[in-house]
Each structure stands twice: as C-alpha cells, then as structure tokens.
Structure 1
Amino acid sequence: MNNMKQIFKGKKILITGHTGFKGAWLTQWLLKMDAKILGVSKGIPTKPSLYKELKLHKEIKSIYLDISKDDRLEKEVIKFQPDFIFHLAAQSLVKESYLNPIETFKTNTLGSVYLLNAIRKLKKNVYAVFITSDKSYDNFEWSWGYRETDRLGGPDPYSGSKGAAEIAISSFQRSFFPDEGNIKLSIGRAGNVIGGGDWSENRIVPDCMKSASINTVTQIRNPNSTRPWQHVLEPLSGYLVLAKNLYENKNIHGEAFNFGPSNDLNVSVKDLIKTMSKDWKKIKWKILRLDDGQKESSLLKLNCDKALHFLNWKPKMSFEESASATVQWYKNFYDSKLNIKEFTLSQIEEYENK
C-alpha cells in the first residue's frame, strides 16, 4: 500500500454509496491520500452513521439521489469528469431483499446499468471498480471456495440482483468498452465485512455492539452458519489495488476478483461472537429458534487465488485481529472519550504499515 498515495493524490474520484459503512471507510482512506471526492448516495442509511461520525460531509461534496431512476446521475458524472469510480451503492441486506425485492433489483441491477450508461458518455480515461458481492455466486454450499468463473445467481432476491448486475456489467464492457478504449473497469466481490461504524439492521456485529452498549442480550438466528469474515480494510485495500492495476494498464479490463480471508478462516457466527466477547465482556447472546421461510446460505467460502496471482493482493489480518479491531472501535465509540475520527485514521495507518 506504500505507493498507493501517489496514484490517488489529487485525482477526482467518484464514490457511489459513500454514506454507507464501506463507503465511509473508503472515503476516509482516500481523503487520507489527498484525493478529490464526489460522493453520490440516496441518503444517510443509518443512525448513528459512520459518515456523520467521521464528519466526512465537511470534507467532500455529496449529491443525494436515487441512482436507479434519477436523471441527474448522468449529468453529475459528466460534470465531475472523474478519474476513478468506485461503485458501492447498493441495497445490501438479504432480509430486506425479501421484504422489498423490486427495490432491491432496481437499486442493485438498474442502478449499475444507469451508472454504466453515464460512464460511457465520458471521453477521458476512467478506471472504474464495480463492487458486487460474494453472494453473487449461486451457492451450493460447497466446502471449497468459489472461483470467479463459477455460476452466478442465488436463492434470494439480493443474490439474484447482484448476479444480474454482473451480467449487465459484462454486457456493457463487451458492447461499449473495448480493450483499446478510454474506459477500464473490473468487478470486486467481497465476503462478509466487519469493522467499526456499521449500524445496519439485522447484521450480527452491529446487533452485538448495540446490545453490549446498553447491557442487553443479542438474539442470534443461525449460530452455526459460516462466513468469510474479514475486516472492512481488507476488501477496500483490494478495491484500491484493483483500481491501481487498471490505471497501470494491466490486462484485467472486464475481469472479476474475489477479496476474502484465507481459505482456512471461514468461521461460524457463534465463534465470531465468542471471539469478540473476549475483548468486550458486555457482549452476551442467546440463540433464537425461528423459521421464517427465508433462505440464507449457511456455508459460503471464496477462493482468492486470482487476486494473489494477478494483483499480488492477499489478506493481512488474522480473524482474531479483525474481530479485535472491530470491538476496539465500538468500545472507543461507546465507552471512551477518544476522538473516533482519529482512532479510525489510526486503524487505517496501522493497516497500511502491515
């Protein structure tokens, strides 16, 4: 990561979904590299909000619109003339996708299409990273990790919307963005992300942290489900490395890459909570027996060999380090007088120096 700043310093970077959990961390990291950022989001998705807590609204220009139906998106993209684009805007919750499947497909699939169509109007060199999900894969709950060539799709509307977005991205790339053209793009697929500042509903880490802060018990639905847990800085570093390689004209235009933990680091929900509780004794839980008919995969693994081979990217943090860094952030937020922006920057710097 040492030479990353010279790539992004002074560059105009468009981030969609910049007010979300991952978007706010990425915005803060790129600000640390002296990038010029335009953020596009539908609004502030949670309260509290990492974006607000880091006071990012005071450092960048934000535009609030619905990318799946607002004509302003194309106008703002053309006006801004970005050098880099990171597309993170999404409806990212499986449970919500069952409640609002149409909105999920509009945001995740049509939103990507509208952005792709706006990008193709640009005449300058642009390097775009589209973020989808590990749930883009049609998950058969194999014990080995999914590779980038495996079949896309999934049993729930969220997975389907992300798989459909990938088909649209590939179609636009092959139709409008030739190898010799000015637009270069790639896809990043990340596993389950943890870290400070996530307050999304129906996610195990935010649920545990909110409960611990008020001394209540967290109810967990699927204690034995395993996920490729990773600290938020891991996939973000992958997205940055991917953008850097696009910029340096590596032969990865149109390629997709997995960003996840080592293959031996798939950990159950129950073990994640137990590990986090070592750092914060207030974390307590009980198992909730519930069958709501909504299918969510219990086993999911990623194979990240392609990212290692083509991008020289690999995860830096152990599972224990990821869990501990996450808990320490929330403990500082809820219990400490430490400046949370300074603490967030210190975690970024510590990661850069690994």
Structure 2
Amino acid sequence: MEHLDSKFWRGRRVLITGHTGFKGGWLAHWLETLGADIHGVALPPTTSPALYEVARPNLALGETIADISVEGVLDNIFASVKPDIVIHLAAQALVHSSYKAPINTYFSNVVGTLRVLEACRLTYRPRAVLIITTDKVYRNADQGLAFSESDALGGNDPYSASKACCEIIVESYRKSFFHVGNINIGVARAGNVIGGGDWSEDRLIPDALRAFAKGENVILRNPDATRPWQHVLEALNGYLIFSHALLTGASCIPTEINFGPSPEDFLRVKDVIEHFAANFAPGLGWVAGCKSNYKEAKYLVLSSDLAHQTLGWLPKLNAEKAIIWTSEWYREFEHGVDCGYLVRRQINNYTNILTCGRDC
C-alpha cells in the first residue's frame, strides 16, 4: 500500500480541519492534485506571510473560516459536505504558546477534537476519521529510547498533554460509540516537520529565516536537543496511506501509527541549522542563547517500524535532502517564484520518488 492511488482519491469527499495551517495547506494541495473534493474548515492563519495566503489550493467543496470548538460549527459542515473521511489537523500546535496560554491550548485541542467526534456521532458518520496528534504524546524520561505505539502516553508541557488527552478521548469514543465498526478512526503521530511555507513563531526554520533576513545568526535555546526531523511531505504521505487503509477497512491496521524519519536522521537542533544555513545563508549560523524557563525534553526519538510493517510506509527523503528542499523553496519564494507552483512542483517531485524511486 506504499504508493498513493490517484484513482482511489479522485472524487473522494475529504474534510480537512486546519487547512489554513502549514501541514493542512500542503495536504490540501496534494489532495487537489489527486483529484479529491475538499472542504476546509479552520481559523484564519496566524502568520503573515502564510501558506494559505500565498498558495491557496482549489477547494472544490468550499471552505469555512471558523473555530471548530464552537458548538454547531461542525454539525452544519458535516451535514452539507457529507465527507467520506475527516482529517483532523486543526490545533494550537506550538509548545511555547501552550505555556503562555494553557487554557486556550487545552480548549482548542481537546474540545476541537470532541467536536469532530460528536459531529461524527450525531450529525453525519463518515467512513473514516484520521486524528493527527504528535510524537510528543509519549511519557518522556529523556533516555533517548525510540518510542513505539504501545508506550505510555504523557506530556509535561500543556501542548503535549493536550494531545495525549485527545488520544484518550478518541479511544473512549471508539469503544463507547463506534465499536460496531461502522466508522474507522485512526491516530497519526509524526515527528518534527520542515518545509517551505512555515512562518510560525518559535519554530526552528522560521526563526532562522527571520534572523538570517537581518543578517544575524539564529539564537538557539537548546542547540543539543535531538529531534526526529522530516520533510512535511513524508508525514503527509503517511497520513494519506493511513487514510486509504481506514477508508477501505483494511484488516490488521493499527489504530495508532508513528511516522518518523530513519534513525540516522534524528538530528540535534544545531545540526539542522548548520545544514540549512549552508544551503540558504552561507556565512550565517547559530549562537547559543539563554535556556528557556520552560521544560523541554533533550531527546525525542520515534520508531516507525509499525508504519512499515502494516502500511509499507518508509521515509524517502533523508534529513539532508529535506533541508535542501526546504532551503530551495524559501530561496525561490524570496526571488518571487509563484508559491503555488513551488508547492505543486515539490509534490510532483516527491510523487515521482514514490513511483520511480527517484526524480523521473
């Protein structure tokens, strides 16, 4: 099931929550190229520029700019769109923002997920739902061990804990309301994603871009922290393959699956910046800053063995290639190249790698 089936997605009705965000924007473009009919629902983008503004996908079923945690918003959308599948990405996804506004983070992430599940239960039942959480849902003792899907959930910071709460809620709904098998619900956990079109605060590549634009080195709070870095298309490929399996009711598909890079691509923060600077801003790099007052894990390592064993999913871009693709995207953006073209070109290049094993 490793390769995407464009015939399968053609005409498929897909509801994406969070389509104005970084991953949601890339996903909407990819599904558009596959011929899916998409409706997006999300809050307005929080950054300027934003991928949503500079490279809008064609949403055949329209969009709703609204807060999904508000009662009734999703009920109306489900009733009119009648999606085959819901891919739930909408979230407050920044760790530091979760420390600054924990109530907002818990409300957005937990209640937002509850609204999705309640709309499935009471308004219109799609055939499948994919809930996107994070690799940070695991109880992390900072021992550098690779987390697998059976490891205990945890979360020290409000963002991580809110996503672990989401997973507990999903499991409760699965057993309480959807246990008869008339709706398949999966949970996807991905590593740290990079790629063109991300301008979020307190994210590594966007922070570097802002510093480099001023001719300055980027300040790193934890340069030796190790994370599972991957290009955004790697994670989205996993989401789409998982969604296919959920829609077709494939047997023996796990309910939770990790999507992370190969072990050699778990890099320190400073390694990522050094590679990115070499490709994007030679002569610049990083300097160590004051450590954050907020607790951050030093090691976060993910095992994706289950994704390979059950879905045939494997990462196709190593960390060096992911960084090169990211730097090329931003460099061409700065030179005025159309952003929709940049997104579609990289999707096409990645699809070629999936089908041919190389750019073909």
Q: Is TM (by shorter chain) over 0.5?
A: yes
Root-mean-square deviation over aligned CA pairs: 1.7
**Aligned counterparts, 1:65-144, within 5 A:** 65-122=66-123, 125-144=126-145
SS across alignment from 1:7: helix
SS across alignment from 1:56: coil
Separation in structure 1 between the aligned mates of residue 158 and residue 301 of structure 2, nearest angstrom: 20
Aligned to 1:351: 350
SS across alignment from 2:147: coil
Q: Deviations over 1:51-109 (max 9, x none)?
A: 11112377661112212223221121122100111100000000000000011011111
SS across alignment from 2:301: coil
Confirm or deny that 1:284 pairs with 2:297. Answer: no
Aligned to 2:338: 339
Aligned to 2:325: 325
Aligned to 1:248: 248
Q: Deviations over 1:135-184 (max 9, x none)?
A: 01111123221000101111110111000000000000111112532x11
2:110–2:165: 8 Å Cα contact kept in structure 1?
yes
Note closer, same or farther for the CA distance 1:60–1:283 as it changes in structure 2 (3 Å cut): farther
Displacement of 1:122 after TM fit? Answer: 5.0
Aligned to 1:295: 295
Aligned to 2:153: 152
2:133–2:187: 8 Å Cα contact kept in structure 1?
yes
SS across alignment from 1:229: strand
1:40–1:64: 8 Å Cα contact kept in structure 2?
yes
Amino acid at match of 1:312: G
Note closer, same or farther for the CA distance 1:154–1:58 as it changes in structure 2 (3 Å cut): closer
Note closer, same or farther for the CA distance 1:333–1:274 as it changes in structure 2 (3 Å cut): same
Displacement of 1:292 after TM fit? Answer: 4.1
Amino acid at match of 1:222: N
Q: Any stretches of 5+ residues in structure 2 without a counterpart?
A: 354-360
Displacement of 1:353 after TM fit? Answer: 1.2
In the TM superposition, structure 1's runs of 4+ consecutive aligned residues that sit over 6 Å from their partners are none
Structure 1 length as normaliser, TM-score? 0.95
Displacement of 1:216 after TM fit? Answer: 2.9
Amino acid at match of 1:82: P
Note closer, same or farther for the CA distance 1:77–1:125 as it changes in structure 2 (3 Å cut): closer
More displaced, 285-294 or 80-89?
285-294
Separation in structure 1 between the aligned mates of residue 348 and residue 180 of structure 2, nearest angstrom: 35
Separation in structure 1 between the aligned mates of residue 139 and residue 146 of structure 2, nearest angstrom: 12
Confirm or deny that 1:219 pairs with 2:219. Answer: yes
SS across alignment from 2:40: strand
Aligned to 1:43: 44
Aligned to 2:306: 306
Displacement of 1:254 after TM fit? Answer: 6.5
Note closer, same or farther for the CA distance 1:344–1:11 as it changes in structure 2 (3 Å cut): same
Aligned to 1:9: 10
Separation in structure 1 between the aligned mates of residue 77 and residue 181 of structure 2, nearest angstrom: 26
Structure 2 length as normaliser, TM-score? 0.93
More displaced, 338-347 or 276-285?
276-285
Q: Any stretches of 5+ residues in structure 1 without a counterpart?
A: none
Separation in structure 2 between the aligned mates of residue 268 and residue 159 of structure 1, nearest angstrom: 20
